[in-house]
Structure 1
Amino acid sequence: MATQQRRERERAQREALIVSAARDMAEADGWASVTVRRLAERIEYSQPVLYSHFAGRGAIVDAVALQGAAELAEALERARTGAEEGEELEAVAQAYLDFAAANPALFEAMFALAEGLEFGPNAPDVLKAGFAQLYAVFAPLAGDRDPETLTETGWAALHGLAVLGRDGRLRPGLQQDRLAILLRQFVNG
């Protein structure tokens, strides 16, 4: 029994090492630099060892994306629960934008590169946890509108600000102004 537990622990440690190395490589040099061969060299294991943990690069990206989703959910929850009463929406929105700016490659993995992650009702719990934090701040603003649709719309708007800002598609230095306009639309909607 102890041998089996040790093997499981070592396997989990190798998986964590692979995911961590992929994240580090992507943040440093972009996702194009993350290949199974380069990962194997970086962590000093053979490619077959990586394939024994993940079906391929896509599965590694999915694992990184799930890890990122958990971190984002935690950041949103901290922002929501740490905000002054009445300032939760702004705090969560700012936390979302800050997370995207601080983790560009992780954010890309989560929302552009992940292939095996399903959103919606069948999403993994970690994705639902992030949506729940958004729902907690947008749903009270719904009035006679569907709260889930309002939350999805708020999320889409925040996400658009994050991605367009990250990609240099918006004029620099105006993110706070854009965020204030966006939030007023929801609060006064």
Structure 2
Amino acid sequence: MVEMTPARARRERDKLQQRQAILDAAREIAASEGWGAVTTRRVAERIEYTHPTIYEHFESKGALLAELTREGYRLLLAELQAARARARDPEQVVRDMAQAYCAFAWTHRELYEAMHGLSGVSIEPEAYRKEGEAVIAEARAALEAWAKAEGVKTARVDDAVLILWSTLHGIASLALNKQIVGGKKHAAALAARVVDDLLSAWRVAKHV
């Protein structure tokens, strides 16, 4: 194996820093002006790079948005895993993960919009399938752990995950657009009720 020289190592660090600066700039523009304002030229101007420099890292705006979408799913996964690690029991895990999901949407609105095709952002699902499936797997594991603790069958656990995710997405999205009376505080309470009601229904039915 050829040892990397200090000069080459420095170039690699610089390249990674450039790439991250591009991603950060795109997020900042989206957060303040919306995704419609994000162009490779605007990104280049913001970080004082030449326009061609952007294309050394991303072949198109679409490639840049795809990477930001993947970054969003990786960050969401980390938030869900942290919530799962903090909780005291399987039922609290599901509750805390639901709250973490909503908090992520509200804290990282620009990424959430990219991840879900909102505000005109359109990314092919294949571009972020691996990262998206990792998030779904985390939610599935939490529901399976709860079901095992409650003696509930999990023949249709994937449907249960989809039901929970779809409902939380609706609540989070409505709150983002200020369409829930009482704002995010009320939305968080609704998310908590969704979890409690669904778990209660599945407990009674003895299956998910």
> TM (normalized to structure 1)?
0.88
Structure 2: any 5+ residue segments left out of the alignment?
A: 202-208
| 2:129 alignment partner, SS class | coil
SS at match of 1:168: coil
Cα distance change of structure 1 residues 50 and 154 upon mapping to structure 2, 3 Å threshold = same
Q: Give the structure 2 partner of residue 83 of structure 1.
A: 87
Counterpart Cα distance in 2 of 1:143 and 1:114: 37
Deviation at 1:180, TM superposition (A): 3.2
129-138 vs 50-59, greater mean Cα deviation: 129-138
Is 1:123 equivalent to 2:135 in the alignment? Answer: no
Q: Mean Cα displacement is larger for which, 141-150 or 90-99?
A: 141-150
Mapping of residues 3-82 of structure 1, within 5 Å: 3-82=7-86
Deviation at 1:114, TM superposition (A): 4.9
- Tell me how far apart the structure 1 counterparts of residues 189 and 133 of structure 2 sit (CA, whole Å): 29
- Give yes or no for the alignment of 1:146 onto 2:156: yes
Which of 162, 181, 199 pairs up with 1:171?
Answer: 181
**Larger deviation: 5-14 or 130-139?**
5-14
**Alpha-carbon distance change, 41 to 144 in structure 1, aligned in 2, over 3 angstroms:** closer
Aligned partners of 2:172 and 2:187 also within 8 Å: no
TM-score, normalising length: structure 2: 0.80
Q: Select between 94-103 and 7-16 the one with higher mean Cα deviation.
A: 7-16
Cα RMSD between the aligned structures? 2.1
**Alignment size in residue pairs:** 186
Identity of aligned residues (%): 31
1:159 corresponds to which of 153, 169, 174 = 169
> How far, CA to CA, are the matches of 2:135 and 2:21 in structure 1?
24
